[in-house]
Structure 1
Amino acid sequence: MASPVLLLVLLAAAAAAAPQLCSAVDPVSTYCAKNFTGAQTQASISQVLSALVPRASADYYATATAGRGDSAIWGLAQCRGDIPASDCVLCISAAARALASTCRGQADARIWYDYCFMRYDDTDFLGLPDTGYTIILINTMNASDPVAFDRAERKLMARVAAEAGEAASGGLARETARFDATSTTIYGLGWCTRDITTADCGLCVAQAVAELPNYCRFRRGCRVLYSSCMARYETYPFFFPVDGKDGGAAASSHAGEYEKIVLNP
């Protein structure tokens, strides 16, 4: 029989190797707007959230509508296509609970996680690319060889934007590049909500990528999030599947320190 000390070591090792679920349940940002007082609108919101949770949990994507006239609400929920199904369920459930609580009494609500996105609105937004409200998260650390790193990151994210605009990508682009100066791998990702077309997805991710040098030049990581797509790069693995030599599990959404900028609030 293994000693108590050995068992503790084994348990600690297993915990370190397990996928980190905080990315599924910790929100990156929330947006709430359009105050209302009507009980019917609130009922429509509740119906939309109740419909989105099981559908998106099962299919990684869902839309829903409820109500009529001034009380009509449209909703969308989507998980990132590379994540485990169990994390999708956790993320979608957490998103619905958070919106119901944080944005109660407001008819335009959106919440971003690393692993999923959810929104509802009293205007039909489905199928319309939305790059208005913008969240930028900037890693506070600079690259050790900033000019060469920036060159490698730009080439990587150009490939991400191009891949996102291809039908075969399904709205999810993942690329990696080896930064030779330090043998560091740069991880790049772009993904879109599935209500927009493939062409619009490519344009949306390209717009997000174009913002990166404006705010994140020489930084080791950056994220630009819209309501229809996002683009992100890091020097640690944050998407699946993960190369075992780089840690064995996708890193937390809060790995490292980040500055947050909101545009067009």
Structure 2
Amino acid sequence: MLQQAFSLSFLILSFIFSLFSVSTADSNIYCQCSQLNFTSTTPYESNVNSLFTSLTDSASVDNFNKFETSPQSDDTVYGLFQCRGDVLSKDCTNCVANSINQLRTSCPKSKGGEIQLEACFVKYGDTSFFGAENKMEVCKKCGPSIGYNSDVLSRIDSALAYLVDGNGQYFRGGDYGSIQGVAQCTQDLSLSDCQDCLLEASGRIRSECETSAWGDMYLGKCYIRYADQSNLNPPNGNDNSSPIKRNAKKNNLGLIIGIIVSIVLGTGLTIFVVCFVKKHGEFRKSKKKLEAAQKEAKAAKEKAEKLQKIIDEEKKRCFPFLPPACPDVPKPPPFPPCGLPPCQSKPPPCQCGRPPCQTSLCPFL
């Protein structure tokens, strides 16, 4: 029983640890909804729900997939998801599921929508967008200015050029000196279209963020991000670090908090379970003793009833002529001598406390 208690404590401790292992993979970067709405309980709503289920299921296997529900009908729904190239399968599944939940909340009746979280991207709509380029700026974020530092700005340019040229992959990332960068395209694009999209994003981020210590540029089908690690912790103590590094800080802090809280709660839970098991064992022992005593008392009662029955049967067999006990009746007055009055010709029936008449004492009968 004690071993089972510790096993239960370990399972609950693991669950608590998973809850407190905070991750910023689900941080919302942007969310957009179509202005066109669908009507409830229509085939289109059913197809949207079916698409969302397919996207979530597929995320446990792949980091990208696209679906088309009810093709060649007026209620066709198109959708895709893509997780960041360095994300684990479990985190990809969780991110896609969370994205869909947020879309259901933010775009409950919209015919289309898209959402970009830190670790994944989900999009759906009533018209096909597969393979189509989309260089429209969706979201831009720029960090604080570091001034005109030719050396740093030169490294930023080199890092962005490295990300654009890349290695012929949809996901590209790495460090270029003190500059950390990452870029990605949705995999429904061709590699040449991906290159064009990243080239456009790189040009915009350099022109719009200029001397910023970090910058994020999200277009319709790609994004590019950079951060100068040497200028993320200014002397004034303000946290102007880029999301790339800030997310790592949050992950580490969340992990530490999760470990501490898990240990405290797990220890307390283990002590509680051990005490509960001990008290439960004592209660069971007391209950067993009570049940044994009740069983013995019942057996003794049954034995006494059997003995009494045997005694009654033996009385009937050995003393068959014993008259039944008479009820309490008043004692009759004494009889006069025979002849005064004369005896009856027949003796009266036997009465309790009165013998029958002795006719042999009567000479006149």
Q: Same fold, TM exceeding 0.5?
A: yes
Equivalences for 1:220-239 in 2 at 5 Å? Answer: 220-236=213-229
Equivalences for 1:163-178 in 2 at 5 Å? Answer: 163=166, 166-167=167-168, 169=169, 171-178=170-177
CA RMSD of aligned residues (A): 2.5
Partner in structure 1 of residue 31 of structure 2: 30
Structure 1 length as normaliser, TM-score? 0.75
Partner in structure 1 of residue 94 of structure 2: 90
Partner in structure 2 of residue 58 of structure 1: 61
The separation in 1 between residues aligned to 2:122 and 2:50, in whole angstroms, is 14
The separation in 1 between residues aligned to 2:51 and 2:245, in whole angstroms, is 31
Partner in structure 1 of residue 282 of structure 2: none
The separation in 2 between residues aligned to 1:96 and 1:187, in whole angstroms, is 30
Unpaired runs of 5+ residues, structure 1, are: 1-14, 179-184, 238-248, 256-265
Deviation at 1:145, TM superposition (A): 5.5
The answer as to whether partners of 1:63 and 1:77 remain within 8 angstroms in 2 is yes
Deviation at 1:88, TM superposition (A): 1.1
Report the identity percentage.
19
Higher Cα Rg, which structure: 2
Equivalences for 1:65-214 in 2 at 5 Å? Answer: 65-67=68-70, 68-139=72-143, 141-143=144-146, 146-163=149-166, 166-167=167-168, 169=169, 171-178=170-177, 185-214=178-207
Equivalences for 1:234-245 in 2 at 5 Å? Answer: 234-236=227-229
More strand by share: 1
The separation in 1 between residues aligned to 2:98 and 2:121, in whole angstroms, is 10
Runs of 4+ displaced beyond 4 Å: none
Deviation at 1:132, TM superposition (A): 2.1
Deviation readout 1:223-246 (Å, 9 max, x if unpaired):
111221110001359xxxxxxxxx
Deviation at 1:116, TM superposition (A): 0.6
In structure 1, the residue corresponding to 2:28 is in which secondary structure?
Answer: coil
The answer as to whether partners of 1:136 and 1:223 remain within 8 angstroms in 2 is yes
Flag the 1:150–1:250 CA change in 2: closer, same or farther, 3 A: closer
The separation in 2 between residues aligned to 1:64 and 1:89, in whole angstroms, is 16
In structure 2, the residue corresponding to 1:124 is in which secondary structure?
Answer: coil
Alignment coverage as a number of residue pairs? 216
Of 144-153 and 40-49, more deviation after overlay is shown by: 144-153
Deviation at 1:173, TM superposition (A): 1.1
Deviation readout 1:161-182 (Å, 9 max, x if unpaired):
011xx43x2x01113122xxxx
Q: Which amino acid aligns with 1:205?
A: L
The answer as to whether partners of 1:73 and 1:120 remain within 8 angstroms in 2 is yes
Unpaired runs of 5+ residues, structure 2, are: 1-16, 231-243, 251-365
Q: Which amino acid aligns with 1:117?
A: F
The separation in 2 between residues aligned to 1:174 and 1:210, in whole angstroms, is 18
In structure 2, the residue corresponding to 1:64 is in which secondary structure?
Answer: strand
Partner in structure 1 of residue 52 of structure 2: 49
Of 116-125 and 83-92, more deviation after overlay is shown by: 83-92
Flag the 1:199–1:35 CA change in 2: closer, same or farther, 3 A: same
